[in-house]
A and B are shown apart, each in its own frame.
Chain A
Amino acid sequence: MAITHSGGSTVRIEGVSKRYDSEQGSVQALKGIDFSVERGEFVCIVGPSGCGKTTLFRILAGLEPATTGGVLLDGTRVTEPNPDMGIVFQEYHLFPWQTVRENVDFGLQKTTVPDAERRQRVEYLIDLVGLDGFEDSYPKSLSGGMKQRVALARALAIDPALLLMDEPFGAVDAQTREMLQGELLDIWQETGKTVLFVTHDVEEAVKLADRILVMGKNPGSIRAVVDVDVERPRSRTDPEFGDYYERVRALI
């Protein structure tokens, strides 16, 4: 059963800037961000802390308005979080009072998908992220990696055309992180969704992305866009991998 009906979406970031005004003065967090993401593309946004990548993520997700410019998702302006995009945060943000199954089902409940199909889809997704057997567990009893799997399944459940992820594997241990990266790539290849993935980890970006958006700070802006032209699965020990790693490193 396919979980995707929508395929990927295009994203256009048009002249986005963000300015925070406070009594201590104003801070230019983002300036003149222009960027386009193709349908089905996997794009990583990397940059040092304080470069505004999380601000950009929040604007992309419709959680915060841009001061100027805006984001177009398949040609429609994004003004608030909506089910056309699945959002995955670093801190999981599962609903603690719901079981794994209920968490995954949360978004589907608000749709018109018939009950039988809904149940089937939830089962399929729990399976897809490798959590069968844990359907009735509550988040408190899950490890970080498992929680992030639930969050991913929950975001995928409503079949968004775009997956927006903010350092999703930042809070899990190295081994789990590597596993989750592989699983995300599998899911991406299987579903053809567009993925926008924010990370501060250059290695992670080189491993995952078709293109890497490198950001710099003061003010947060695009420093370079790097096309990663390496066959998947990519290995750290590849000389090519190393070259890209060094190149992106040097840009930061």
Chain B
Amino acid sequence: MATDLQGERSRTTETSDLPALGVDPRRAALGISGLTGFIGLWWVASLFQPEFVLPSPVTVANTFVAEAASGEMLTALWQSSLHWIPGTIIGTLLGIIAGVALGWSPLLDDISSPVVRTLRPVPPLALIGFAIAWFGINNAGAAFIIAIGAFWINFYASYGGVEGVSEDLLDVARSLGVKSDLELVKSVVVPAASPEIMTGIRTGIGRCWMLVVASEIFGVPGIGRRILRASNNLQVDVVISYILVLSLMFLLVDSAFRAVQRRVLVWR
């Protein structure tokens, strides 16, 4: 059979030459100048304020180093991870499972719709009472708060992704011998919705770092606790140092996940 693909070949692109981290020197330079400008403004502003209102970048840097050197910072980070990690993982998994199930099955969707709509607007912070009552003032309680945050983001992302899966792809799969719903969900629905699911996971990871502070409000130790205590003592330099820790952790985890996302979604 004729295998003449001239003219078609030219439109093919290599999928292997994706940039590893995607750092463009021009954009990096712009970013660095923006950051420098921000710190400059902060420094100028701090000249006219007392330390407990706005400490200078230099003071913050010193505090940061001191906190890091004393081991306090690492301890707080470790304590926070103990609920951030399980909370994020559990909330993400449950959110994806529920989102896929309800997005796929109109029956389940109809049954759970009133409950979902009632629970959805409840902010995780409002559930602190339950966290204490059900789990206690411990990592499990804090993980619960974080998991709630991750759950809704992943639930809606997956739900939307599944709703958007084309009927035609499902028809093709059926004509190729896929019989059961479970098989269809596994081999077509989840992969087809994976870009939305991945976006949900990534958004959720970020949101969970924000929730770390909230989840420690009732006394569980960690970065959030440290921030709240320093706030009460007007140690703004300590507050900013630990906010920086949160930012850095977010940046680290987000970059790592972005790399994973690119690998997984190489087909896009």
Question: Which of A85, A93, A146 has the most chain B CB atoms inside 10 A of its CB?
Answer: A93
B120 at interface, CB cutoff 8 A? no
Would you give the shortest CB distance from B9 to chain A, in whole angstroms? 9
Contact present for B171 and A107 (CB under 8 Å): no
A245 at interface, CB cutoff 8 A? no
Contact present for B191 and A95 (CB under 8 Å): yes
Q: Contacts A82-B177, A87-B175, A128-B1 known; A146 to B8 CB distance under 8 Å?
A: yes
Partner among B5, B12, B176, B188 whose Cβ is within 8 Å of the Cβ of A158: B176
Q: B7 to chain A: which residues have CB within 8 Å?
A: 175
Q: A142 to chain B: which residues have CB within 8 Å?
A: 8, 11-12
Question: Which of A106, A139, A142, A154 has the most chain B CB atoms inside 10 A of its CB?
Answer: A106
Contact present for B188 and A95 (CB under 8 Å): yes
B169 at interface, CB cutoff 8 A? yes
B101 at interface, CB cutoff 8 A? no
Nearest to B175 among chain A residues (CB) is: A81
Q: A243 to chain B: which residues have CB within 8 Å?
A: none
Nearest to B188 among chain A residues (CB) is: A95
Contact present for B1 and A183 (CB under 8 Å): yes
Q: A50 to chain B: which residues have CB within 8 Å?
A: none
Majority-rule SS of B interface residues: loop
Contact present for B4 and A179 (CB under 8 Å): yes
Q: Which of B126-184 contact A (CB under 8 A)?
A: 166, 168-169, 171-179, 183
Contact present for A141 and B168 (CB under 8 Å): no
Partner among B15, B168, B188, B191 whose Cβ is within 8 Å of the Cβ of A137: B15
Contact present for B171 and A141 (CB under 8 Å): no
A247 at interface, CB cutoff 8 A? no
Contact present for B1 and A187 (CB under 8 Å): yes
A234 at interface, CB cutoff 8 A? no
Cα distance A142–B3 in the bound complex, in angstroms: 15
Cα distance A110–B179 in the bound complex, in angstroms: 9
A63 at interface, CB cutoff 8 A? yes
Partner among A80, A95, A143 whose Cβ is within 8 Å of the Cβ of B169: A95
Contact present for A89 and B177 (CB under 8 Å): no
Chain A 120-140, CB within 8 Å of chain B: the 1/0 string? 000000001111101001111
Interface residues of A (CB under 8 A from B): 61, 63, 80-83, 85-87, 89, 91, 93, 95-99, 106-107, 110-111, 128-132, 134, 137-143, 145-146, 154-155, 158, 175-176, 179, 182-183, 186-187
Interface residues of B (CB under 8 A from A): 1-5, 7-8, 11-13, 15, 166, 168-169, 171-179, 183, 187-188, 191-192, 194, 266-268
9 interchain residue pairs of minimum CB distance: A130-B3, A107-B176, A81-B175, A83-B177, A110-B177, A81-B174, A143-B8, A138-B267, A87-B175
